[in-house]
Every structure is written in structure tokens, then in C-alpha cells.
Amino acid sequence: LSKKVEMTNWEKGHYINYAKMNETLNIVRQRLNKPMTYAEKILYSHLDDPHGQEIERGKSYLKLRPDRVACQDATAQMAILQFMSAGMPSVATPTTVHCDHLIEAQIGGEKDLERAKSINKEVYDFLSSSCAKYNIGFWRPGSGIIHQIILENYAFPGALMIGTDSHTPNAGGLGMAAIGVGGADAVDVMANLPWELKAPKVIGVKLTGQLSGWTAPKDIILKVAGILTVKGGTGAIIEYHGPGVNSISCTGMGTICNMGAEIGATTSLFTFNDNMSKYLAATNRKEIGDFARSYAAELRADEGAEYDEMVEINLSELEPHINGPFTPDLATPISKFKDAVKENKWPEELKVGLIGSCTNSSYEDMSRAASIAQDALSHGIKAKAHFTVTPGSEQIRATIERDGQMKTLEDFGGMVLANACGPCIGQWDRRDVKKGEPNSIISSYNRNFTGRNDANPATHAFVASPDLVVAMTIAGSLNFNPLTDTLKDKDGNDFKLSVPTGEALPSQGFDPGNDTYQAPPEDRASINVAVSPQSDRLQLLEPFQAWDGKDSNDMPILIKAKGKTTTDHISMAGPWLKYRGHLDNISNNMLIGAINSANGEANKVHNATNGEWDAVPATARDYKRKGIKWVVIGDWNYGEGSSREHAALEPRHLGGLAIITRSFARIHETNLKKQGMLPLTFSNPEDYEKIQPDDKVDLLCTQLAVGKPMTLRVHPSKGGDAFDVELSHTFNEGQMEWFKNGSALNTMAKAHKK
Ligand code: SF4
């Protein structure tokens, strides 16, 4: 285990430390004296203090030392701006930045990329120079989507990584515990502070049988999402194991882990197996695969390890699924889908099929998709619906270009987009339907919340495997089941599509394509990172004010949000992405997608000071100008979706004090704490109903103490006596300092000064 094996081919001197991990794990093993799951082994082998750390699943806060940090361009801006304000010369933990989110799909890969480079020049220049300055690996626009690049170049079994993107768990396909965090957490790790995570529970998913036919790895996670729902993975790591794993490629495992984010899981991972070794070898990392083999006993669960919950899926019986619309956990097997379309009156005509993204753009995915497209072409037909292809990385793009899959997909009618997120994150200049027009699209992406892809709330977005997406695209209809139904060939004869086929890895090896990586230079002292004060896209950060030490009385409720309030509702993506580095400008999107329980409308709230109905950000700005703090009341799983800390920074910037909900999504709750806000939950969730949007509230902040409830005093707008509601929170001692000092960053800067 003492061998020196580099973590990645792109850096020098960062070795995989299985020896240290083993040592740390053995300390914990002696203390716990019981069998451990694989997820626990990874976490505990990265403990900052294995002797003293309190360890109880679902209870303790683990202080961890991740091996790596990864940031995408939309979140990296704010993370680096925050890191800069901590005043350190370089990052303490290997870090990479990936340019993928800011490239809008319009007319096709090359042109879209060139346009993005010019539109985003200021941001790319900032990222490129700050990465060079602070010793961060920089993947330029065109390199591909963060999670593919990580899988291809950086992930390895047994490692712990944090990434400022919710689909970071994709690297679980290579046995890495890769966890999506907010930028503020990344800043901690870049600055050499231990990273804190509430010890997750572990849900085991045992796979038996074998994948075959039209059933793809994606169907496993579509099924799991249906079973566990968007809330089911909250606070848990999903650990896949069992004999069925052998029939899943490494990239297929990546797909499953990637989409585990949709069920709120902390992360998902597979135990080390041969398909991982094969993938490591195919991506020039055979030595890592061999090294992992020598540590293999700790890269799986111990015999008799206990899971908090167990799910079992027989892959031989698993049907292809289609999930959606509007939520990724509405899972319908293909055999029942036609009926569901009819029953729910979902628009039958399929307008667009989209394959690729970080979730499903592997060589295998593209080969299988191309085999179906080829089948259609050989019958003289093409895609009936619009069809787009997003390669996940430059390496995938170059390889499928060389091996012919791209040509097939283009001949079939596909538009190949840039190696970037594109329509998956709303970077889509869609022109085939008008805003507000009900229509259906289907993608092999992971997330399908309202308006995410094209900012049209009437778009019914479904998610499925790339195989089904291509098949439905040929039919141009949701009423097609490729397993049972026939299509018409060019002469009007019936035919059935053949079962898709594809290779997991290219037999000729990968073609790396264009060089898109910028390594940090040796001499970094003279590099200048400039942010123009006139910029409307980048803004240096001012520290937030510390808590005044008092209770806050008579506060208005900015909005009582009803139903799903995702981070897309709180800080919308799409056109707003360009302001990710400018806190004041992006705050103009705060909560504009949340539904006001008072009127059932979005972005229309009642201003308590002047009685007018106005937009949410304008009302918050008005309160702020008048020196009035405010709160938000939220529903279940508030802040589900992505890791974007803007959803926490914005309410803080516009003068909010607390977000009070029935429950929170984990990342968002932590992000709120980091920014010095109070994420609080109703001890009795029914109390949500007792509060009216026009009520005023007192929050007894001075009661804040670990494990103790807080009081919300409600003054009903309709008159009558004030009443108290009990609130709960999950602050620990360290996190309470964040609130008191105004933010985690203020706390860090204070410690730095000392
Ligand atoms: Fe990009 Fe979509 Fe993947 Fe997020 S989920 S990294 S937006 S492709």
C-alpha cells in the first residue's frame, strides 16, 4: 500500500494514499468493533481525527479531509471570489474548474462554443487567471461536462471528493464517494479546513439478475427514484452491490450514481469491481486499477455490514422506465406509459428528444443510441421529432466522431451540440414552440423540474435512457413502446426496432481530441486576477454583517411558499446563469419561481409596509432599504435540486434572517447556515398551516443553542392573540459561530487573523 501512484495523469505529486486511509480506518475499526459498509469505510478513512471523532450514523457531524475538489464554471465564480477574500496564496487541496454550464445550445457545437467564448469572455478570463494564480487545474470551454471529465481523469476507488454541483456523485461509478456541496464548502476545503458532513445513513441497493435487451443502467435509477422518491435518499448514501453489478459498465454505474442526486442522496456509489478496472485501463490509468486491487478488501462492505434500509432489484425483470413529467420520481414502466399519457392528458406528440449530458453520454450510451438510429436509417426513416446530442466530453466527441456514431446520429437528424450542459441547465435557445404552449420533450438527462430545460412551464419533460429517447424520437410520439410496437418503414411496411447494442469501451481506445486543459504554471506570483468594478457579471464580495445579538421582532413574511420550492425556484438558472459571479445582480431572481400561498402565483407578493403587490426581489429590497429583516415560510424539502449557494446568498444579501420550512434539502440547509442565515423547521410540520402570509413574526434568536428548539411568535394579521410555534434546527457549536459572525467565511477570516 505504500506504493507511489499519482491520483491523476494531470498533476504531479498528489499520490493516492491507501496506506494512510488504511491506517485511519483501522483506528476507527477498533473503536467501532463492527462490520462497516463501503460508504462508511470511505468516509471514516478520511476522518480528520479518527481517535476523537464521534461517530453515529444520522447523528454525528464528521470532520473530513477530502482528496479533491471540483467546481463547474457557474459555481466556481462565487467559490473563487470567496476563496480570494480569505487571503491565501494557493489552494490546499487539489482542485479543478470546468467550463461547461455557460454554453448555450442554439445552432450546433462549434458555433455555439465560439459564441459562448465571446459572450462569457470576462468570466472565462477571470476563471483562467484565478485558477492559474491559486494553483487550480482549469478545463477550458469545450473540454466537456465536469462529471465526465472527473470520471475520465480524476475519480478513483476509495477516494473522497467534493464538487460544487449536485451531480458530483457521478464519480461513484468508479467507487469514489463524490459529494455535491455549495461553493462555501469547497472554499473550506480549498483553504485546508476540515469539511463537515452529518454522518449519513446508508441505504443498500442489492442488484441481482442481469441487464439485457432494452433495459439500460438508467432504468435502475429511474426505478430506484420511483421507489425512494425525491425525499427518500435525504441524509443517506446509496450503496449498490450484488451480483447484478457485473452486467453494468463503469459508465453505466456513473449514470446511476449521477441521478441519485434526484432522490436527495448525499451520494451514491458502487463497490470496487472489474468493470472499474477496465475503465481505468481504458482511460490510461491501469496503474490505479492495479493499486486499487491491492486495497480491494476495503473497497467493499465488510461481511455482515448493516444498512439502514435495503432495496433489492432483479435486473432480469426490470423494465425500461420513463420518469416525469415535472418530477424525476414519477416512474412509469414502458408497458404502462401509454395509459399514463392518456390518463394524465400529457401532450402525446413528442417535440424533442435529447441525448447526452453528464448523465448519459458515455461511449456505450452513444453506441447504443447510434445502433437504434442506424436501424431506423436502414429502414429509410429518420427522427420524426427534433433530436439533439450532447457529448459529455471532448474525448467522447472525438471518439464517436472517429468511430462513426456521430455521423450516424447526424444522418438520423441529430444536431450535435457543444460538449457542455446546454439544454440540461436551460442553456437552450429553443424556437420550435412558444412559451406557454403545452408540449412534451424527452431526454436522457437527470432532472426535469418545471421550466428547467427551456424556461417554459408548460413543457412536459420526461427522462429515460438514451435508448428510449432515440426510439421515441423516431416515433415522434409518447405513445410508442419499442419493445412491442412497430413502426412504418419508408415504403409503409411495419417493422420492429432491433434491440440496441453497443460497446462499453472503444475497441481502438479513446481519442483524446483537442487539448482543452490549462495546467497552473510554476511561477504564479506575478499573475494578476482582475475584477472590474463596472462589471455586471463579477463583483468582489463584501462580508455580511455579524448578528446583532438580539431577538428579531415584528418581521414580515416575504413569501409563504406553497409546494415544491427547488433551488431553481429560489435562484433560477437559464438566463440568470450569467450573473453567478455578481451577487447583487443575480439577487434579482430571488424566489421568483416560488408559488405564493396567498394567491397561487409566482413572483407576486404583498408588501407589508405599503400594501402593494410586487415582485419578490423588489419587495425584499424595499424591506432592506427600510432596515426591516424578513423571513420566508417554506413547504417540504425546501431547496431540493442543486447545490447552488446563490439560493442562500441571495436571501442573505437582500436582508433575510430565517427560512422556516416543513423540511429542507440537505445541501441547501447547510448553504443557508454558511451564509449566516437561520434554516429552521417546524417541530410540528402542521404548524405550517397555522401561519398566514400577512402575519408578522418574532424570532427569538437568543434561544439558539445546540439541540434546543427556538420559538417563533406569530402575530396574526386578522387580529387575535399572538401564539407561539416551536421550531427545530440542526446547528452544531461550530455552525452557531457562522450565524454569530455573519457567515462561515467571516468565521474563517477571523480565525485566519488570529
Ligand atoms: Fe450539466 Fe445537466 Fe450535468 Fe448539471 S446535470 S452538470 S447541468 S449536464
Question: Are residue 312 and residue 323 in the same domain, yes or no?
Answer: no
At position 80, the amino acid (one-letter code) is I
Provide the pLDDT for residue 667.
80
Closest among 665, 638, 630 to 570, alpha carbons compared: 638
Question: Are residue 332 and residue 236 in the same domain, yes or no?
Answer: no
In angstroms, the CA 229 to CA 117 distance is 39
What global pTM score does this model have? 0.87
Per-residue pLDDT band for 683 (boundaries 50, 70, 90) equals very high
Question: Are residue 189 and residue 54 in the same domain, yes or no?
Answer: yes
pLDDT of 2 higher than 90: no
Of these residues, 100, 185, 622, 695, which one is catalytic? Answer: 100
Question: Are residue 485 and residue 566 in the same domain, yes or no?
Answer: no
Bridge partner residues of 177 (DSSP): 160
Domain assignment of residue 345, yes or no:
yes
- Average pLDDT over every residue of 647-666: 96
CA 167 / ligand 1 centre spacing (Å): 7
Whether 158 contacts 54, CB under 8 Å: no
Closest among 737, 680, 708, 728 to 547, alpha carbons compared: 737
Residue 651 preceded by cis peptide, ω within 30 = no
Whether 168 contacts 157, CB under 8 Å: no
Question: Are residue 306 and residue 401 in the same domain, yes or no?
Answer: no
Question: Are residue 377 and residue 281 in the same domain, yes or no?
Answer: no
Provide the pLDDT for residue 105.
86
Q: Which residues contact 183 (CB under 8 A, 6 or more apart)?
A: 71, 75, 76, 78, 79, 82, 164, 645
Q: Which residues contact 526 (CB under 8 A, 6 or more apart)?
A: none
Question: What CATH number should be reported for the domain holding residue 94?
Answer: 3.30.499.10
Q: For ligand 1, what atom is nearest to the CA of residue 642?
A: 4
To test the pocket of ligand 1, the residue of 71, 164, 425, 448 to mutate (highest count of ligand atoms within 8 Å of its CB) is: 425
- Average pLDDT over every residue of 104-121: 90
Whether 321 contacts 222, CB under 8 Å: yes
CA 392 / ligand 1 centre spacing (Å): 10
CA 145 / ligand 1 centre spacing (Å): 7
**Which of 428 and 680 is assigned the larger pLDDT?**
680
CA 613 / ligand 1 centre spacing (Å): 35
Boundary-marking domain end, from 280, 296, 316: 316
Q: Helices 121-133 and 73-85 meet at what angle, rounded to 10? A: 50
Provide the pLDDT for residue 82.
86
Boundary-marking domain end, from 287, 316, 345: 316
Question: Are residue 385 and residue 466 in the same domain, yes or no?
Answer: yes
Boundary-marking domain end, from 480, 495, 510: 495
Question: Are residue 488 and residue 472 in the same domain, yes or no?
Answer: yes
Of these residues, 101, 285, 321, 668, which one is catalytic? Answer: 101
Domain assignment of residue 540, yes or no:
no
Of these residues, 440, 443, 642, 643, which one is catalytic? Answer: 642
Provide the pLDDT for residue 218.
98
Question: What CATH number should be reported for the domain holding residue 616?
Answer: 3.20.19.10
Whether 591 contacts 566, CB under 8 Å: no
Q: What percentage of residues in the chain have a pLDDT greater than 90?
A: 87
Domain assignment of residue 543, yes or no:
no
- Average pLDDT over every residue of 506-531: 94
Does 165 participate in catalysis according to the annotation? yes
Report pLDDT digits (tens) over 204-249: 999 999 999 999 999 999 999 999 999 899 889 999 999 999 999 9
Question: Is 294 buried (19+), middle (13-18) or exposed (0-12) by CB count in 10 A?
Answer: exposed
CA 526 / ligand 1 centre spacing (Å): 34
Of these residues, 67, 73, 112, 165, which one is catalytic? Answer: 165
Pairing of strands 613-614, 605-606: antiparallel
Provide the pLDDT for residue 750.
84
- Write the DSSP string, 228-291: HTTTTTBTEEEEEESGGGGGS-HHHHHHHHHHGGGGTBSEEEE---HHHHHHHHHTT-HHHHHH
Q: Which residues contact 674 (CB under 8 A, 6 or more apart)?
A: 182, 184, 185, 645, 648, 738, 743, 744, 745
CA dihedral 313→318→322→324, nearest 10 degrees, is -20
Domain assignment of residue 546, yes or no:
no
Cβ of residue 357 lying under 6 Å from some atom of ligand 1: yes
**Which of 359 and 643 is assigned the larger pLDDT?**
359
Question: Are residue 164 and residue 301 in the same domain, yes or no?
Answer: yes
Report pLDDT digits (tens) over 303-340: 999 999 999 999 999 999 999 999 999 999 999 999 99
The whole domain housing 423 covers 319-495
What is the average pLDDT value for the chain, to the nearest integer? 95
**Which of 2 and 724 is assigned the larger pLDDT?**
724
CA 76 / ligand 1 centre spacing (Å): 14
Closest among 314, 294, 118, 300 to 209, alpha carbons compared: 314
Q: What is the 3-state secondary structure (H, E, C) of 609-666?
A: CCCCEECHHHHHHHHHHCCCCEEEEECCCECECCCCCHHHHHHHHCCEEEEEECCECH
Phi, psi angle pair for 498, to nearest 5°? -75, 160
In angstroms, the CA 484 to CA 334 distance is 10
Q: For ligand 1, what atom is nearest to the CA of residue 166?
A: 4
pLDDT of 574 higher than 80: no
Domain assignment of residue 374, yes or no:
yes
Cβ of residue 368 lying under 6 Å from some atom of ligand 1: no
Question: Are residue 263 and residue 156 in the same domain, yes or no?
Answer: yes
pLDDT of 386 higher than 90: yes
Q: For ligand 1, what atom is nearest to the CA of residue 390?
A: 8
**Which of 520 and 85 is assigned the larger pLDDT?**
520
Domain assignment of residue 531, yes or no:
no
To test the pocket of ligand 1, the residue of 148, 151, 251, 357 to mutate (highest count of ligand atoms within 8 Å of its CB) is: 357
**For the chain, what is the domain count?**
3
Does 642 participate in catalysis according to the annotation? yes
Cβ of residue 421 lying under 6 Å from some atom of ligand 1: yes
Per-residue pLDDT band for 578 (boundaries 50, 70, 90) equals confident
ipTM: 0.99
Phi, psi angle pair for 176, to nearest 5°? -100, 145
Pairing of strands 61-64, 195-198: antiparallel
pLDDT of 695 higher than 80: yes
Whether 501 contacts 371, CB under 8 Å: yes
Question: Are residue 458 and residue 437 in the same domain, yes or no?
Answer: yes
Per-residue pLDDT band for 123 (boundaries 50, 70, 90) equals very high
Other C-beta atoms within 10 Å of 517: how many? Answer: 16
Q: What percentage of residues in the chain have a pLDDT greater than 70?
A: 100
Bridge partner residues of 461 (DSSP): 441
Pairing of strands 710-715, 696-699: antiparallel
Does 452 participate in catalysis according to the annotation? no
Phi, psi angle pair for 653, to nearest 5°? -65, -35
Which residue is closest in CA terms to ligand 1's atom 1?
A: 421
Which residue is closest in CA terms to ligand 1's atom 2?
A: 424
Whether 694 contacts 668, CB under 8 Å: no
Of these residues, 644, 652, 662, 666, which one is catalytic? Answer: 644
Other C-beta atoms within 10 Å of 440: how many? Answer: 22
Domain assignment of residue 547, yes or no:
no
Question: Are residue 560 and residue 487 in the same domain, yes or no?
Answer: no
Domain assignment of residue 584, yes or no:
yes
Q: For ligand 1, what atom is nearest to the CA of residue 147?
A: 6
Per-residue pLDDT band for 88 (boundaries 50, 70, 90) equals confident
DSSP 3-state of 205? strand
Does 101 participate in catalysis according to the annotation? yes
Cβ of residue 645 lying under 6 Å from some atom of ligand 1: no
Segment holding 102, helix H or strand E: none
CA 144 / ligand 1 centre spacing (Å): 11
